[in-house]
A and B are shown apart, each in its own frame.
Chain A
Amino acid sequence: DTAVSQTPKYLVTQMGNDKSIKCEQNLGHDTMYWYKQDSKKFLKIMFSYNNKELIINETVPNRFSPKSPDKAHLNLHINSLELGDSAVYFCASSGGRVDEKLFFGSGTQLSVL
């Protein structure tokens, strides 16, 4: 019974296309995140939502738009994909207090050709 599940696991697409990644958590957490892991394994936060409200929005191109229909779901839509968007995108959730641990999904490997 997966705690944080994201789909798809692999996404291969052409430059210029629009794609979405979906994330769901069944932990009852209030806070969800999107992290990007580049080819050098560097993990960087992109967005964070708490109870459907955007609370962290890092310097991310506005081609990336998160959407949280309810606190158990946080989707990531990417418009006009570029080569540099190729990375692994991780969804995560937590209870939201500063020392609540992050529960990560297994990642979506995005390859833009």
Chain B
Amino acid sequence: TQLLEQSPQFLSIQEGENLTVYCNSSSVFSSLQWYRQEPGEGPVLLVTVVTGGEVKKLKRLTFQFGDARKDSSLHITAAQTGDTGLYLCAGVSGANNLFFGTGTRLTVIP
């Protein structure tokens, strides 16, 4: 099993603060996806990073893929209440295998 550990597991911050979520593994992945899941719904893809060292920005969200393609981070600037949810990273290995991380539950307090 290729384990993806996310940290922190839970995070509660005030609106306007910055935060970083980490996704770490000892395995190498060909690409890595980040999803957000809201209560009662399935996860929704935010971004896919493919190249080691790649940085992608999605408005206030910045995603980085580690140089060795074993880890990734998600940084949110000036968090808003709408950012509240469960953030999941998922590593792709081979043609058919997608391994999900343990998840980070973010709560943004108004």
State whether these chains interact. Answer: no
